[in-house]
Structure 1
Amino acid sequence: MTGPFTVWAPDGLPEVNPGDDLVALTAPVLAGLQDGDIVVITSKIVSKSEGRVVAAHDREQAITDETVRVVATREHPGGTTRIVENRLGLVMAAAGVDASNTPDGTVLLLPLDPDASARTIRAGLQRRLGVRIGVVVTDTAGRPWRQGVTDLAIGAAGVVVLDDLRGERDTHGRLLTATVTAVADEIAAAAELVKGKSDGRPIAVVRGLGHLVTDEDGPGARAVVRLGPDDMFAQGSAEAYAQGWADAQAAVADGQG
């Protein structure tokens, strides 16, 4: 049974610049880490340290460059919103390209491999601080059918990312057949409650969930991504309708041929 846990966001992290050693910068503000703690890091500072700040006077072009597949496009008074699958397999607005808190004329791309970033940070912090921890790298995204945005895990190391409860029984004895909990996303969302979007505290520590910290790095947050045959909503409704209409017309044309 999971007991109480605590989440806090330490102060004191300096501005992160391209080429900075993120482990060296974060270790001093995380000096009190204990075995079983989970460090939750906003992807923005991971991207900055890895030099993912790129010149892009046209943010739309940067989004196009990071896009693998367009899911939905909507025009609105403020411009155009594109929901796309990016190079990491993540489906989100603007491919995760961020134009906030970066110098004029630049945008910030997501880390090339957030799971690898999480593994590197975990190994470095464990070595420096002598503790056994987990690391989750997060980004912000919207969700179908829900207003607002929340943080989710895009990288993870040493943390259970999915808790498969299938085969267990609920409190009434009923067999669970479909319940798989996205633990890493829940940790990311809990951490965002204390980090905030504009408070200058991009790191949080979760204590009390040591049963979710693993010896091995594990499969990473990539295991949470649902694509291919498992994705029942691979297109926006308007796009799916248009594609279905086009397919129907093509089938009629083939039949007439």
Structure 2
Amino acid sequence: MISIHPLCDLPEIAAGDDLAALLRGSLASAGLLPLKAGDVLVVTQKILSKAEGRMIDLAAVEPGAEAVELAARTRKDARLVELVLQESVAIVRAAPHVLITRHRLGHVMANSGIDRSNIGPGESERALLLPVDPDGSARQLVEALSADSGGRVAVVISDSFGRPWRYGVVGVAIGAAGLPALVDRRGDQDRDGRRLEVTQIALADQIATAATLVTGEGAESVPAALIRGLSLPEGENGAAAIVRPAEEDLFR
């Protein structure tokens, strides 16, 4: 049986904190140690970014001409727009209150994933950027937590994305280690013996979305969750494997 366990007692994370040690302590207080084979620890992007010092003081940001023009068009803070431009490789859509970009990691997302919510009290003039290498950070957490494991343990770094043509946000994986983030089923057969031609499973995204049932999207203050009872497929690839290359974009 699959179960989802919220980790509710983590402190406010600051730059330089030993996130693995804090997560280990929270797992212990929740009675979830030792970790078991198939366990997946889902860590929200915010606490990882905070620990890695990705907080930016907006007062120190000097908007360039492009940022000023885009800010006027989108009705956004020009300093925030400057950060969005620095973190992106392309502007996908700019309209009043909307700025969608292709992030340097390949994700197509609002505001290059830069956030100003739930980043800590008194931090309204700061913004939080995505981690530099979320797959690498996930690998580091797997290694740090491996001593507490009775088997193969995985880590997923989650964020919240909107989706084209649908309202609402869902959890997605921007980083993963210890599991195949993308499972290729092409060549397998369905129950009628027909060959699967295009089926690929975004397993890490499914896990990230499941975790948001307990981590939430607002003031829940649950920045991580352990999912237990999964039967993980063999193999490993990071969340970067899920990102569709720009040359395969059918909507440009």
TM-score (norm 2): 0.84
Asked whether 1:20 is paired with 2:17, we answer yes
Q: Secondary structure at the match of 1:64?
A: helix
| Cα shift at 1:132 | 2.9
- Please show how residues 1-257 of structure 1 align to structure 2 within 5 Å: 4-31=1-28, 32=32, 33-57=35-59, 58-75=79-96, 80-102=97-119, 103-128=123-148, 131-197=151-217, 198-212=219-233, 218-233=236-251, 235=252
Computing the radius of gyration from Cα coordinates, the structure with the larger value is: 1
RMSD (Å), alpha carbons: 1.5
Q: 1:213 to 1:39 in 2, by over 3 A?
A: farther
- 8 Å CA contact retained: 1:40, 1:205: yes
Q: How far apart are the structure 2 equivalents of 1:52 and 1:131? A: 32
| Cα shift at 1:228 | 2.8
| Cα shift at 1:108 | 0.2
| Cα shift at 1:213 | 6.6
| Cα shift at 1:129 | 5.2
Letter in 2 for 1:46: L
Q: Secondary structure at the match of 1:23?
A: helix
Q: How far apart are the structure 2 equivalents of 1:171 and 1:181? A: 17
| Cα deviations by residue, 1:60-92 (Å, 9 ceiling, x for unpaired) | 2211221210111122xxxx3111011111110
- 8 Å CA contact retained: 1:162, 1:180: yes
Q: How far apart are the structure 2 equivalents of 1:172 and 1:35? A: 32
| Cα deviations by residue, 1:101-137 (Å, 9 ceiling, x for unpaired) | 2312110000000001000111101135565310000
| Cα shift at 1:175 | 1.7
- 8 Å CA contact retained: 1:83, 1:91: yes
- 8 Å CA contact retained: 2:37, 2:152: yes
- 8 Å CA contact retained: 1:158, 1:213: no
Q: How far apart are the structure 1 equivalents of 2:234 and 2:179? A: 5
| Cα shift at 1:211 | 2.4
Q: How far apart are the structure 1 equivalents of 2:233 and 2:144? A: 20
Q: Secondary structure at the match of 2:16?
A: coil
Runs of 4+ in 1 over 3 A off after TM superposition: 128-131
Quote the sequence identity (%). Answer: 43
Q: How far apart are the structure 2 equivalents of 1:87 and 1:229? A: 15
Gap regions ≥5 residues in structure 2: 60-78
